[in-house]
Chain A
Amino acid sequence: MGHYARFGMFLLKQVAIILATFFGLILLTFVIGRVMPLDPVSAAVGPDVTQELYDQVYREMGLDQPIIVQFFDYVGSVLQFDFGRSFFTNQPVTRDIARVFPATLELALCGVLIGSLIGIPFGILAAVKRGTVIDGAVRVVMLIGYSAPVFWKGLLLLVVFYAALGWAGGPGRLSIYYDGLVPTRTGLLLIDTLLAGEWVIFKDAVSHIALPAISLGYGASAYIGRMTRSFMLDQLKQEYVGVARVKGLSERRVIFGHVLPNCAVQLVTTVALTFGILLEGAVLTETVFAWPGLGQYMTKAMFNADMNAVLGGTLVIGSIFVFLNLGSDILYRILDPRTRA
């Protein structure tokens, strides 16, 4: 009873924080889009437009209104997922984002998968073998992983595995001749091709996503591995570890049965955070691999000074960050028995 009431309070508090954060995010994009540029209209549509279009946009953006009214209009439209019109695709930004986002999502998911599958085991290994050659080697490989720029890693992979060795598919999500052959259901090509039973196209999609996913996944595994190692080392110092050994448990049971469960909660948070970081990283990676996702869309929008598109993308990625934070806080609360009392 008390436990549920407390959990309810916790949820309420989280929701309040989320609302405040969203408000902050919207305010910030408003300031960036409407207040900071000397001329918001040119910021949105670029300098070379007819007076007619200029005036139309001026009214559409409500620039003849007081700034406070403009802000609430802006909040209202953002809440209805209306981010305005992109001037370089001439489409509503929302529709554009819905079109390009699955590609980015697929890439980031693959990256976080690779990052967890490699980072967590090697982080555990390094912590258990602390101070040995193995630990040193793992740490050096991880150091390289988070010190090297992601787009540089991507370029090197492209040169070696695509251009020189021909092991992987090149830029884009699919080879051109497979484009449009598979019906879109989830938007995630790896899943759509499987659903359609198109093995050959699935393999083609895998060979295309491999390199960008690896360049993201390497950095992710470095980050996750480093965190895993440090969580494990913290826990290995605790007395309950010695007690578990006194019980006569094997070292394997001590590590996987006692130490790892104590890190699980922090690991979930780390993986969630990493997913957010990868969405950002995708912006840089997509440029290298001509990956038709949100990152490439935003980059193009920036060059065309298409403010609505840029801010739309910022809002989407920012919102995902906010939800990831919320989600990991709630999971923390559910997974850790200490918070249940």
Chain B
Amino acid sequence: MTDATLFTRVRRGEPHSSAEARLAQLWRGAEMLWASPAALTGVAIIAALVVVALLAPLLAPYGPYAQNLANQLQPPSAEHLLGTDEFGRDIFSRIIFGTRFTLYIVMLVALIAAPAGLLIGASSGYLGGWFDTLAMRITDIALAFPRLILALAFVTAFGPGLNNAILAIALTGWPPYVRIARAEALTIRRSDYIAAIELMGASRLRIILLHVVPLCLPSLFVRLTLDMAGVILIAAGLGFLGLGAQPPAAEWGVMLSSGKEYMLSAWWAATFPGLAIFFVCMGFNLLGDGLRDILDPRQES
């Protein structure tokens, strides 16, 4: 087969192998994403976030920590697009470098909470029995707790700081992933193909890691995207309260927090970091909603 025919098969949804089927599904998803302006906006915002984070030193006109005390709290101007803060630092440059903190937080939380939840949930759904009962009870209990308050309590115990805040957010974030992975694992568990693998003598660990976990990934990914907005808001909240990243870090929550002191005289110092948080949150919300509509067609007719 030539590539051209493979491409047509994938596009028309007439796959010849399971790999092609997966490709076809991805293609259909991409088509639907393309057709939804809202989801596309989300993709654009998140792509912009990543690009800006990667190219921060090239894009920022000043260093994020370059002080100029002669130039404190200047309103937005040609030299300082979004004005300067109380140390005369360029807010625009700090927001650009702040994307790195945001990405760092989001990725680390995802990397800690999602795999933990995935593993517990997949095992719980596949194994069933007492393990399932116990895991689900604990998850239900954890789901009933207020997330922000718990994160605050954790940070108080760990001590303030960016990494501690990330750990605290991750520690309060795993229960939804357990739920989702378990729901997926329950449907997979009874499938013939799992039964076939069991007959071939595969170990439980092997089945969970190589066969159950991969099938849980798509819905987990959607949930993760939707959750990222919440993670950013909590991280910003912790930063705002002074419990997350610490000054002089160019983290948006911290910038907002120190800017708030000058809010009445220099509105830009807190307004623009807040705007940045808002845009990124909106991006994740839009993308998450779009992904959910694609993976769960029940929602939209």
Binding site for B on A (CB under 8 A): 17, 20-21, 24-25, 28-29, 32-33, 36-37, 43, 143-144, 146-149, 151-152, 155-156, 158-159, 163, 230, 233, 237, 276, 279-281, 283-284, 287-288, 298-299, 301-303, 305, 307, 310-311, 313-314, 317-318, 321-322, 325
Are B263's CB and A325's CB within 8 A? Answer: no
Within 8 Å by CB of A148, from B142, B147, B158, B281, lies B281
Q: Which residues of B contact A148 (CB under 8 A)?
A: 274, 277-278, 281
**CA separation between A80 and B217, bound complex, in Å?**
46
Are B281's CB and A310's CB within 8 A? Answer: no
Are A152's CB and B152's CB within 8 A? Answer: no
Give the one of A21, A32, A149, A298 with max B CB within 10 A. A149
Within 8 Å by CB of B274, from A149, A284, A301, A318, lies A149
**CA separation between A159 and B261, bound complex, in Å?**
12
Q: Which partner residue on chain B sits nearest A35 by CB separation? A: B157
Convert B235-263 into 0s and 1s, putting 1 for each residue whose CB lies closer than 8 angstroms to a CB of A. 01100111100000000000010001001
Are A310's CB and B156's CB within 8 A? Answer: yes
Q: Which residues of A contact B156 (CB under 8 A)?
A: 32, 301-302, 305, 307, 310
Binding site for A on B (CB under 8 A): 137-138, 140-142, 144-150, 152-158, 229, 233, 236-237, 240-243, 256, 260, 263-264, 267, 270-271, 274, 277-279, 281-282, 285-286, 299, 301
Within 8 Å by CB of A321, from B145, B229, B256, B274, lies B145
**CA separation between A56 and B57, bound complex, in Å?**
54
**CA separation between A248 and B236, bound complex, in Å?**
53
Within 8 Å by CB of A33, from B157, B242, B267, lies B157
Within 8 Å by CB of A314, from B142, B149, B158, B242, lies B149
Are B153's CB and A284's CB within 8 A? Answer: no
Q: Which residues of A contact B137 (CB under 8 A)?
A: 20
Given A152-B278, A163-B264 in contact, is the A318-B145 Cβ separation under 8 Å? Answer: yes
Q: Which residues of A contact B141 (CB under 8 A)?
A: 20-21, 24-25
**CA separation between A204 and B233, bound complex, in Å?**
32
A278 to chain B, nearest CB (A): 11
Are A143's CB and B282's CB within 8 A? Answer: yes
Top 8 closest A-B pairs, CB basis?
A152-B274, A147-B282, A24-B141, A147-B281, A280-B148, A148-B278, A36-B157, A314-B153
Query: A24-B142, A305-B156, A307-B156 given. 14 additional CB < 8 A pairs?
Result: A21-B140, A28-B145, A28-B150, A147-B279, A149-B236, A149-B240, A152-B271, A279-B146, A280-B148, A299-B241, A302-B155, A314-B150, A318-B145, A322-B144
Q: Which residues of B contact A280 (CB under 8 A)?
A: 146-149
Q: Which residues of B contact A33 (CB under 8 A)?
A: 157
**CA separation between A305 and B152, bound complex, in Å?**
12
Are A32's CB and B157's CB within 8 A? Answer: yes
Given A28-B145, A33-B157, A159-B267 in contact, is the A302-B274 Cβ separation under 8 Å? Answer: no
Are A149's CB and B241's CB within 8 A? Answer: no
**CA separation between A230 and B144, bound complex, in Å?**
23
Q: Which residues of B contact A317 (CB under 8 A)?
A: 146, 149
Q: Which residues of A contact B264 (CB under 8 A)?
A: 159, 163
Q: Which residues of A contact B278 (CB under 8 A)?
A: 144, 147-149, 152
Q: Which residues of B contact A322 (CB under 8 A)?
A: 144
Are B149's CB and A307's CB within 8 A? Answer: no
Q: Which residues of A contact B142 (CB under 8 A)?
A: 24
B20 to chain A, nearest CB (A): 33
Q: Which residues of A contact B274 (CB under 8 A)?
A: 148-149, 152, 155-156
Are A276's CB and B146's CB within 8 A? Answer: yes
**CA separation between A25 and B152, bound complex, in Å?**
14
Given A156-B274, A318-B149, A325-B144 in contact, is the A284-B155 Cβ separation under 8 Å? Answer: no
Within 8 Å by CB of B242, from A155, A303, A310, A318, lies A303
**CA separation between A307 and B157, bound complex, in Å?**
8
Are A237's CB and B301's CB within 8 A? Answer: yes
Q: Which residues of A contact B158 (CB under 8 A)?
A: 36
A43 to chain B, nearest CB (A): 7
**CA separation between A308 and B274, bound complex, in Å?**
32
Are B281's CB and A321's CB within 8 A? Answer: no
**CA separation between A210 and B299, bound complex, in Å?**
36
Q: Which residues of B contact A307 (CB under 8 A)?
A: 156-157
Are B146's CB and A17's CB within 8 A? Answer: no
Q: Which partner residue on chain B sits nearest A154 by CB separation? A: B260
Are A143's CB and B286's CB within 8 A? Answer: yes
Q: Which partner residue on chain A sits nearest B232 by CB separation? A: A149
Are B152's CB and A314's CB within 8 A? Answer: yes
Are A287's CB and B157's CB within 8 A? Answer: no
Given A32-B154, A156-B271, A159-B263 in contact, is the A283-B145 Cβ separation under 8 Å? Answer: no
Are A37's CB and B240's CB within 8 A? Answer: no
Q: Which residues of A contact B147 (CB under 8 A)?
A: 280
**CA separation between A199 and B142, bound complex, in Å?**
45
**CA separation between A219 and B141, bound complex, in Å?**
26
